Amino acid sequence: MALPFDTLEVGQQIGSTTVTITRQDLVRYAGASGDLNPIHWNSSFAEGVGLPGVIAHGMFTMGAAVQLVSDWAGDPSAIVDYQTRFTKPVVVADTTATPGEPGAGVDVVGVIGALDAERSTARVDLTVSVDGAKVLVKAQAVVKLP
Contact predicate 74/80, CB 8 Å:
no
At 119 the pLDDT is 95
Give the CATH number of the domain where residue 70 resides.
3.10.129.10
Number of neighbours of residue 67 by Cβ within 10 angstroms: 13
Backbone angles phi, psi at 40, to 5 degrees: -95, 5
Produce one character per residue of 18-27: b if its CB has 16 or more CB atoms within 10 Å, e if not.
Answer: ebebbbebbe
Backbone angles phi, psi at 76, to 5 degrees: -55, -30
Contact predicate 137/70, CB 8 Å:
no
Contact predicate 28/21, CB 8 Å:
no
At 137 the pLDDT is 97
At 103 the pLDDT is 82
Owning domain of residue 66: 5-144
User: In angstroms, what CA-CA distances link 134 with 22, 48, 130?
Assistant: 19, 25, 7
> For the chain, what is the domain count?
1
Residues 48 and 43: their CA atoms lie apart, in Å, by 8
Spatial neighbors of 72 by CB under 8 A, at least 6 apart, are 1, 2, 14, 15, 110, 124, 143
**pLDDT for 56-70, tens place per residue?**
999 999 999 999 999
Give the neighbor-by-neighbor strand order of the sheet with 79-86: 13-21, 104-116, 121-130, 133-144, 79-86
> Mean pLDDT per 10-residue run, the chain (146 residues)?
86 96 93 95 95 96 97 95 97 74 89 97 98 97 94
